[in-house]
Structure 1
Amino acid sequence: MEIADHFYIGYISKTRGLKGEVQLFFEFEDYKSLELDVLFLQVGGKLVPYFVANANVLPNRTAYLFFDDVNHIDAAKSLVRKHVYLPNNKFPERHPDDFRLTDLKGYTVVDKTCGTLGEISEVHQYPQQFVATVIHKGNEVLFPLTDEWMLSIDKETNTLEVDLPEGLIDIYS
Protein backbone atom coordinates (compact mmCIF):
# COMPACT_ATOMS: atom_id res chain seq x y z
CA MET A 1 0.00 0.00 0.00
CA GLU A 2 1.32 3.36 -1.04
CA ILE A 3 1.28 6.40 1.24
CA ALA A 4 0.16 8.49 -1.75
CA ASP A 5 -3.15 6.57 -1.71
CA HIS A 6 -3.75 7.54 1.93
CA PHE A 7 -4.10 10.69 4.02
CA TYR A 8 -2.46 11.40 7.36
CA ILE A 9 -4.73 11.73 10.40
CA GLY A 10 -2.34 11.69 13.39
CA TYR A 11 -0.05 9.48 15.42
CA ILE A 12 -0.12 7.02 18.29
CA SER A 13 0.97 9.13 21.26
CA LYS A 14 1.05 6.64 24.12
CA THR A 15 -0.25 3.43 25.62
CA ARG A 16 -2.88 3.20 28.35
CA GLY A 17 -3.29 0.35 30.76
CA LEU A 18 -1.92 -3.16 30.43
CA LYS A 19 -4.36 -4.61 27.87
CA GLY A 20 -2.93 -2.98 24.72
CA GLU A 21 -4.97 0.21 24.57
CA VAL A 22 -3.32 3.12 22.72
CA GLN A 23 -4.02 6.83 22.43
CA LEU A 24 -4.32 8.33 18.95
CA PHE A 25 -3.65 12.07 18.70
CA PHE A 26 -5.47 13.58 15.71
CA GLU A 27 -3.70 16.19 13.62
CA PHE A 28 -6.55 15.98 11.10
CA GLU A 29 -9.05 18.79 11.64
CA ASP A 30 -12.28 16.84 10.96
CA TYR A 31 -11.30 13.91 13.17
CA LYS A 32 -14.84 13.43 14.50
CA SER A 33 -16.12 12.54 11.03
CA LEU A 34 -13.52 9.84 10.33
CA GLU A 35 -14.41 6.19 9.98
CA LEU A 36 -12.02 4.33 12.29
CA ASP A 37 -12.65 0.69 11.42
CA VAL A 38 -9.21 0.03 9.86
CA LEU A 39 -6.21 2.29 10.43
CA PHE A 40 -2.93 2.12 8.55
CA LEU A 41 0.20 2.65 10.63
CA GLN A 42 3.50 3.54 9.02
CA VAL A 43 5.94 0.85 10.08
CA GLY A 44 9.38 0.79 8.47
CA GLY A 45 8.28 2.96 5.55
CA LYS A 46 5.25 0.77 4.74
CA LEU A 47 1.61 1.04 5.72
CA VAL A 48 0.37 -1.84 7.86
CA PRO A 49 -3.39 -2.30 8.46
CA TYR A 50 -4.64 -2.49 12.05
CA PHE A 51 -8.27 -3.42 12.62
CA VAL A 52 -9.96 -1.38 15.35
CA ALA A 53 -11.83 -3.49 17.89
CA ASN A 54 -12.99 -0.49 19.95
CA ALA A 55 -12.62 3.27 19.60
CA ASN A 56 -13.50 6.03 22.05
CA VAL A 57 -13.15 9.44 20.36
CA LEU A 58 -12.78 12.32 22.80
CA PRO A 59 -13.36 16.07 22.26
CA ASN A 60 -9.68 16.94 22.91
CA ARG A 61 -8.36 15.65 19.54
CA THR A 62 -7.62 12.19 20.92
CA ALA A 63 -9.11 8.71 20.78
CA TYR A 64 -8.44 5.61 22.84
CA LEU A 65 -8.25 2.50 20.68
CA PHE A 66 -8.02 -1.24 21.02
CA PHE A 67 -6.74 -3.08 17.93
CA ASP A 68 -7.48 -6.70 17.09
CA ASP A 69 -4.45 -8.84 17.95
CA VAL A 70 -2.89 -6.14 20.20
CA ASN A 71 -3.89 -7.29 23.65
CA HIS A 72 -0.88 -6.48 25.82
CA ILE A 73 1.09 -3.38 26.67
CA ASP A 74 4.26 -4.87 25.15
CA ALA A 75 2.60 -5.11 21.72
CA ALA A 76 1.09 -1.63 22.11
CA LYS A 77 4.43 -0.01 23.02
CA SER A 78 5.81 -0.82 19.58
CA LEU A 79 3.05 1.31 18.01
CA VAL A 80 3.86 4.52 19.93
CA ARG A 81 4.99 7.41 17.67
CA LYS A 82 3.78 5.64 14.52
CA HIS A 83 1.99 7.83 11.97
CA VAL A 84 -1.60 6.86 11.25
CA TYR A 85 -3.30 7.03 7.83
CA LEU A 86 -6.64 6.28 6.22
CA PRO A 87 -7.33 5.45 2.55
CA ASN A 88 -8.16 8.46 0.36
CA ASN A 89 -11.63 7.04 -0.31
CA LYS A 90 -12.45 7.59 3.39
CA PHE A 91 -11.65 11.31 3.27
CA PRO A 92 -14.73 13.08 4.68
CA GLU A 93 -16.61 15.26 2.22
CA ARG A 94 -17.23 18.89 3.12
CA HIS A 95 -19.95 21.23 1.97
CA PRO A 96 -18.60 23.64 -0.67
CA ASP A 97 -19.45 26.64 1.55
CA ASP A 98 -17.52 25.18 4.50
CA PHE A 99 -14.40 27.38 4.40
CA ARG A 100 -11.90 27.22 7.24
CA LEU A 101 -8.77 29.18 8.08
CA THR A 102 -6.68 26.07 7.41
CA ASP A 103 -7.91 26.28 3.80
CA LEU A 104 -5.77 29.42 3.41
CA LYS A 105 -2.66 27.28 2.88
CA GLY A 106 -1.43 28.08 -0.63
CA TYR A 107 -3.09 31.50 -0.73
CA THR A 108 -1.02 34.55 -1.70
CA VAL A 109 -0.85 37.17 1.05
CA VAL A 110 -1.06 40.83 0.03
CA ASP A 111 -0.44 43.39 2.76
CA LYS A 112 -2.11 46.80 2.50
CA THR A 113 1.24 48.57 3.12
CA CYS A 114 4.00 46.16 2.02
CA GLY A 115 2.30 44.61 -1.02
CA THR A 116 2.67 40.94 -1.91
CA LEU A 117 4.37 39.01 0.89
CA GLY A 118 4.26 35.50 -0.53
CA GLU A 119 2.32 32.26 -0.33
CA ILE A 120 1.05 30.79 2.93
CA SER A 121 3.12 27.65 3.42
CA GLU A 122 1.52 26.55 6.70
CA VAL A 123 -1.46 27.38 8.90
CA HIS A 124 -0.85 26.38 12.51
CA GLN A 125 -3.73 25.93 14.93
CA TYR A 126 -3.02 26.95 18.50
CA PRO A 127 -5.52 26.99 21.37
CA GLN A 128 -6.15 30.75 21.14
CA GLN A 129 -5.62 31.41 17.41
CA PHE A 130 -4.52 30.32 13.96
CA VAL A 131 -1.09 31.48 12.74
CA ALA A 132 -0.01 31.71 9.09
CA THR A 133 3.55 31.11 7.87
CA VAL A 134 4.78 32.96 4.77
CA ILE A 135 8.28 32.93 3.25
CA HIS A 136 9.02 36.60 2.49
CA LYS A 137 12.40 37.58 1.01
CA GLY A 138 13.91 34.31 2.23
CA ASN A 139 12.65 34.74 5.81
CA GLU A 140 9.85 32.89 7.54
CA VAL A 141 7.16 35.39 8.61
CA LEU A 142 4.48 34.40 11.12
CA PHE A 143 1.29 36.34 11.81
CA PRO A 144 -2.02 35.55 13.49
CA LEU A 145 -5.08 35.11 11.31
CA THR A 146 -7.38 37.50 13.13
CA ASP A 147 -10.47 39.32 11.89
CA GLU A 148 -8.77 42.55 12.85
CA TRP A 149 -5.89 42.03 10.39
CA MET A 150 -7.63 40.10 7.59
CA LEU A 151 -9.34 42.48 5.18
CA SER A 152 -10.62 40.07 2.52
CA ILE A 153 -10.35 36.51 1.23
CA ASP A 154 -10.70 36.01 -2.52
CA LYS A 155 -11.40 32.32 -3.20
CA GLU A 156 -11.27 32.77 -6.98
CA THR A 157 -7.72 34.18 -7.06
CA ASN A 158 -6.58 32.45 -3.82
CA THR A 159 -5.59 35.80 -2.32
CA LEU A 160 -5.69 36.95 1.29
CA GLU A 161 -5.56 40.71 1.79
CA VAL A 162 -4.25 41.79 5.20
CA ASP A 163 -3.40 44.95 7.07
CA LEU A 164 -0.56 43.85 9.36
CA PRO A 165 0.67 46.16 12.12
CA GLU A 166 3.43 48.55 11.18
CA GLY A 167 6.86 47.03 11.77
CA LEU A 168 5.73 43.38 11.95
CA ILE A 169 7.37 42.45 8.64
CA ASP A 170 10.53 44.41 9.60
CA ILE A 171 11.02 42.16 12.63
CA TYR A 172 11.71 39.22 10.29
CA SER A 173 14.14 41.10 7.98
Structure 2
Amino acid sequence: MKKEECFYLGKIVSKFSFKGEVLIKLDTDEPETYSKMESVFIDYNNNLVPFFIEKSALHKSDLLRVKFEDIDSEEDADDLMKAEIYLPLTLLPKLEGDQFYYHEIIGFQIVDNIFGEVGIITSINDTTAQALFEIDRNGTEILIPMNDEFIDKVDREAKVIYVNTPEGLIDLYL
Protein backbone atom coordinates (compact mmCIF):
# COMPACT_ATOMS: atom_id res chain seq x y z
CA MET A 1 0.00 0.00 0.00
CA LYS A 2 1.35 3.43 -0.96
CA LYS A 3 0.71 6.66 0.96
CA GLU A 4 -0.91 8.15 -2.17
CA GLU A 5 -3.59 5.44 -1.91
CA CYS A 6 -4.29 6.29 1.75
CA PHE A 7 -5.48 9.09 3.94
CA TYR A 8 -3.93 10.29 7.20
CA LEU A 9 -6.11 9.26 10.15
CA GLY A 10 -3.99 10.29 13.12
CA LYS A 11 -0.89 9.75 15.19
CA ILE A 12 0.06 7.52 18.10
CA VAL A 13 0.60 10.00 20.92
CA SER A 14 1.13 7.95 24.08
CA LYS A 15 1.15 4.58 25.78
CA PHE A 16 -1.92 3.71 27.80
CA SER A 17 -1.09 0.58 29.76
CA PHE A 18 1.76 -1.76 30.56
CA LYS A 19 0.07 -4.31 28.22
CA GLY A 20 1.04 -2.41 25.07
CA GLU A 21 -2.08 -0.31 24.57
CA VAL A 22 -1.62 3.07 22.86
CA LEU A 23 -3.62 6.25 22.38
CA ILE A 24 -4.12 7.54 18.84
CA LYS A 25 -5.04 11.19 18.32
CA LEU A 26 -7.54 11.05 15.47
CA ASP A 27 -7.59 13.80 12.84
CA THR A 28 -11.33 13.71 12.18
CA ASP A 29 -14.54 15.48 13.12
CA GLU A 30 -16.25 12.11 13.63
CA PRO A 31 -14.00 9.88 15.78
CA GLU A 32 -16.84 7.41 16.43
CA THR A 33 -16.67 6.44 12.72
CA TYR A 34 -13.26 4.86 13.39
CA SER A 35 -13.88 3.15 16.73
CA LYS A 36 -14.51 -0.34 15.27
CA MET A 37 -11.65 -0.77 12.78
CA GLU A 38 -10.08 -4.19 12.17
CA SER A 39 -6.71 -2.88 11.01
CA VAL A 40 -4.72 0.24 10.12
CA PHE A 41 -1.50 1.05 8.30
CA ILE A 42 1.28 2.47 10.45
CA ASP A 43 4.09 4.49 8.92
CA TYR A 44 6.97 2.41 10.30
CA ASN A 45 10.51 3.15 9.03
CA ASN A 46 9.00 4.94 5.99
CA ASN A 47 6.88 1.91 5.04
CA LEU A 48 3.16 1.47 5.54
CA VAL A 49 2.85 -1.67 7.64
CA PRO A 50 -0.54 -3.27 8.41
CA PHE A 51 -1.34 -3.69 12.10
CA PHE A 52 -4.38 -5.65 13.26
CA ILE A 53 -6.50 -4.35 16.11
CA GLU A 54 -7.46 -6.67 18.99
CA LYS A 55 -9.68 -4.08 20.64
CA SER A 56 -10.31 -0.36 20.55
CA ALA A 57 -12.49 2.22 22.26
CA LEU A 58 -12.86 5.98 22.19
CA HIS A 59 -10.98 7.62 25.04
CA LYS A 60 -12.09 11.14 25.90
CA SER A 61 -13.18 12.99 22.75
CA ASP A 62 -10.69 12.55 19.90
CA LEU A 63 -8.42 9.81 21.26
CA LEU A 64 -8.75 6.16 20.32
CA ARG A 65 -7.40 3.63 22.82
CA VAL A 66 -6.05 0.67 20.83
CA LYS A 67 -4.61 -2.74 21.61
CA PHE A 68 -2.77 -4.05 18.53
CA GLU A 69 -2.14 -7.77 17.98
CA ASP A 70 1.42 -8.75 18.96
CA ILE A 71 2.08 -5.45 20.80
CA ASP A 72 2.05 -6.82 24.33
CA SER A 73 4.42 -4.65 26.38
CA GLU A 74 5.46 -1.07 27.03
CA GLU A 75 8.66 -1.73 25.07
CA ASP A 76 6.65 -2.88 22.01
CA ALA A 77 4.46 0.21 22.31
CA ASP A 78 7.52 2.50 22.69
CA ASP A 79 8.57 1.43 19.21
CA LEU A 80 5.34 2.90 17.78
CA MET A 81 5.36 6.29 19.54
CA LYS A 82 4.69 9.28 17.26
CA ALA A 83 3.98 6.96 14.30
CA GLU A 84 1.36 8.15 11.81
CA ILE A 85 -1.75 6.07 11.11
CA TYR A 86 -3.28 5.68 7.64
CA LEU A 87 -6.30 4.00 6.05
CA PRO A 88 -7.03 3.26 2.37
CA LEU A 89 -8.87 6.05 0.51
CA THR A 90 -11.60 3.53 -0.30
CA LEU A 91 -12.67 3.63 3.37
CA LEU A 92 -13.47 7.35 3.35
CA PRO A 93 -17.21 7.93 3.67
CA LYS A 94 -18.69 9.38 0.45
CA LEU A 95 -19.51 13.08 0.70
CA GLU A 96 -22.62 14.57 -0.85
CA GLY A 97 -23.46 17.91 -2.40
CA ASP A 98 -20.89 20.66 -1.99
CA GLN A 99 -18.78 18.81 0.60
CA PHE A 100 -15.45 17.41 -0.55
CA TYR A 101 -12.15 15.98 0.62
CA TYR A 102 -9.10 18.08 -0.21
CA HIS A 103 -7.39 15.27 -2.14
CA GLU A 104 -10.38 14.69 -4.44
CA ILE A 105 -10.55 18.25 -5.86
CA ILE A 106 -6.93 18.55 -6.99
CA GLY A 107 -7.14 19.08 -10.75
CA PHE A 108 -10.65 20.57 -10.60
CA GLN A 109 -11.25 23.82 -12.45
CA ILE A 110 -12.37 26.95 -10.58
CA VAL A 111 -14.96 29.13 -12.31
CA ASP A 112 -15.98 32.46 -10.77
CA ASN A 113 -19.49 33.69 -11.62
CA ILE A 114 -18.18 37.18 -12.52
CA PHE A 115 -14.53 36.61 -13.58
CA GLY A 116 -15.14 33.34 -15.47
CA GLU A 117 -12.54 30.56 -15.68
CA VAL A 118 -9.90 31.17 -13.01
CA GLY A 119 -7.66 28.10 -13.36
CA ILE A 120 -6.90 24.61 -12.05
CA ILE A 121 -6.59 23.68 -8.36
CA THR A 122 -3.02 22.45 -7.78
CA SER A 123 -3.26 22.01 -4.00
CA ILE A 124 -4.95 23.10 -0.81
CA ASN A 125 -3.06 25.23 1.71
CA ASP A 126 -4.48 24.38 5.13
CA THR A 127 -1.59 25.77 7.17
CA THR A 128 -3.25 29.20 7.43
CA ALA A 129 -6.17 30.27 9.65
CA GLN A 130 -8.45 29.63 6.67
CA ALA A 131 -7.77 26.93 4.08
CA LEU A 132 -6.99 28.25 0.59
CA PHE A 133 -7.48 26.90 -2.91
CA GLU A 134 -4.08 27.16 -4.65
CA ILE A 135 -4.94 27.71 -8.30
CA ASP A 136 -2.66 27.76 -11.35
CA ARG A 137 -3.71 30.23 -14.05
CA ASN A 138 -1.19 29.88 -16.87
CA GLY A 139 1.76 29.89 -14.47
CA THR A 140 0.35 32.51 -12.06
CA GLU A 141 -0.69 31.33 -8.59
CA ILE A 142 -4.06 32.58 -7.36
CA LEU A 143 -5.24 31.96 -3.79
CA ILE A 144 -8.94 31.86 -2.95
CA PRO A 145 -10.18 31.23 0.60
CA MET A 146 -12.19 28.02 0.97
CA ASN A 147 -15.12 29.86 2.47
CA ASP A 148 -18.60 28.27 2.34
CA GLU A 149 -20.00 31.65 1.33
CA PHE A 150 -17.70 31.73 -1.74
CA ILE A 151 -18.47 28.19 -2.96
CA ASP A 152 -21.65 28.09 -5.06
CA LYS A 153 -21.52 24.56 -6.45
CA VAL A 154 -19.24 21.53 -6.73
CA ASP A 155 -19.75 19.60 -9.97
CA ARG A 156 -17.86 16.31 -9.45
CA GLU A 157 -18.69 14.91 -12.90
CA ALA A 158 -17.39 17.96 -14.77
CA LYS A 159 -14.60 18.48 -12.19
CA VAL A 160 -15.55 22.12 -11.70
CA ILE A 161 -16.06 24.22 -8.57
CA TYR A 162 -18.17 27.32 -9.09
CA VAL A 163 -17.30 30.21 -6.80
CA ASN A 164 -18.58 33.70 -6.10
CA THR A 165 -15.57 35.68 -4.86
CA PRO A 166 -15.54 39.28 -3.62
CA GLU A 167 -15.05 41.79 -6.41
CA GLY A 168 -11.37 42.39 -7.18
CA LEU A 169 -9.99 39.36 -5.28
CA ILE A 170 -8.81 37.52 -8.40
CA ASP A 171 -7.59 40.72 -10.05
CA LEU A 172 -5.12 41.20 -7.15
CA TYR A 173 -3.06 38.32 -8.59
CA LEU A 174 -3.13 39.39 -12.23
TM over 0.5: yes
> Could you say which residue in structure 1 is the equivalent of 2:26?
26
Letter in 2 for 1:143: P
Contact 2:134–2:142 (CA<8 Å) still a contact in 1?
yes
Query: How many Å apart are 1:157 and its aligned residue?
Result: 1.5
Unmatched runs of 5 consecutive residues or more in structure 2: none
CA contact (8 A) 2:152 2:164 kept: yes
Paired positions, count: 168
Amino acid at match of 2:43: Q
Which deviates more, 110-119 or 2-11? 2-11
1:12 matched residue in structure 2: 11
Which residue identity does 1:141 align to in structure 2?
A: L
What SS class does the counterpart of residue 166 from structure 1 fall into? coil
| CA distance in structure 2 between the partners assigned to 1:99 and 1:162 by the alignment | 11
Amino acid at match of 1:21: E
Tell whether the 8 Å contact from 2:111 to 2:162 is kept in structure 1 after alignment. yes
Gaps of 5+ in 1: none
Name the aligned partner's letter for residue 23 of structure 1: L
TM-score (norm. length: structure 1) = 0.69
3-state SS in 2 of match to 1:160: strand
Once the two structures are TM-superposed, the CA of residue 166 in structure 1 deviates from its matched residue by 2.4
The residue type equivalent to 1:49 in the other structure is P
In structure 1, give the amino acid aligned to 2:84. H
3-state SS in 1 of match to 2:64: strand
Q: 2:147: which partner in 1? A: 145
Provide the identity percentage. Answer: 20
Native 8 Å contact 1:39 1:86 kept in 2: yes
Measure, in 2, the Cα distance between the counterparts of 1:46 and 1:134: 31
Q: TM-score of the superposition, structure 2-length normalised?
A: 0.69
